[in-house]
Amino acid sequence: MEILNKKQEIFLEALKEFNAENGRMPSIRELKELVNSKGLSLKSSRSITLGLKELEELGYIKRNSKRYGIEIIERQMEFFVNIPIFGMANCGTPCMVAENRPEGMLKISKNRFSSVGKRKKLFAIQAAGSSLNLAKVAGKTIENYDYLLIDPNYKSFKGDGSEIVLAIIDGLATVKVLKYTDDGNIVLSPKSTEKFHQQIYLTRDDDFVINGLVVEVMKS
């Protein structure tokens, strides 16, 4: 698994954009101007060279000694899908603010997904905390800093304690085991070796939304 952070995404976008408009790759100076216009603040040529080195190590580009000698490796990228990462979600008390903009990308082999439709709708969050270190998704436990793939279109929750969900409560994100109570309310529970983690009790009138089902754990 390879991760594209925000800076790397900007570098790759700048290379593609410049090449499409000019029929060649940019010089170091031209690339620095372009990535800075997209929100970065890179002052030295070395920082640009290091950014290109990162993309090459991730398999997105290939460089040679020729002038403008950068090649985007589209063929290799066809075998991967980029899943956007929307920040972190606490596995304990809700305290991580839910982000609306992706902070980076997970680069994952398409072979891990059963259908094109499934992978297109997924997003990722990074787990924080230990309150689900006994819970399992597809045989994998959820540990601190693991990446969790979320299906936001999953609606048929059983609420029987077998599903792990991403919930947004008063604008804060948390990951918990979902269970419906007999009186129609909701309990979000930890499943941990550490007993200090507490359940969260909600009514259907509270300010919360179940943002999706955790369908896969990508170990960090």
Closest CA to 63 of 25, 92, 32, 31: 25
What is the pLDDT, as a whole number, of residue 101?
A: 65
pTM summary value: 0.63
33 membership: H or E segment, kind and range: helix 28-37
Domain ranges within the chain, ordered by starting residue:
2-77, 80-218
pLDDT at 160: 92
- Among candidate residues 138, 43, 36, 124, the one with its CA nearest the CA of residue 83: 124
At residue 118, the pLDDT reads: 56
Q: What is the pLDDT of residue 103?
A: 77
Q: Is 182 exposed, middle or buried (0-12, 13-18, 19+ CB in 10 A)?
A: exposed
Side chain identity, residue 92: G
pLDDT (tens place) for every residue of the chain, 220 residues total: 456 788 998 999 999 999 888 889 999 999 999 999 999 999 999 999 999 999 998 888 999 888 888 988 865 555 677 888 887 887 766 666 556 667 788 878 777 776 544 555 789 999 988 899 999 998 999 999 999 999 988 878 898 999 999 999 888 889 999 999 988 899 999 999 998 999 999 998 888 889 899 999 998 7
Sign of the dihedral defined by the CA atoms of residues 187, 191, 192, 193, in that order: positive
Instruction: List all residues 6 or more positions away from 54 whose beta carbon is below 8 Å from its beta carbon.
Output: 8, 11
In sequence order, the β-bridge partners of residue 174 are: 90, 167
- Topology annotation, domain 80-218: Umud Fragment, subunit A (2.10.109)
Fold classified for 2-77: Arc Repressor Mutant, subunit A (1.10.10)
> For residue 116, what pLDDT is reported?
46
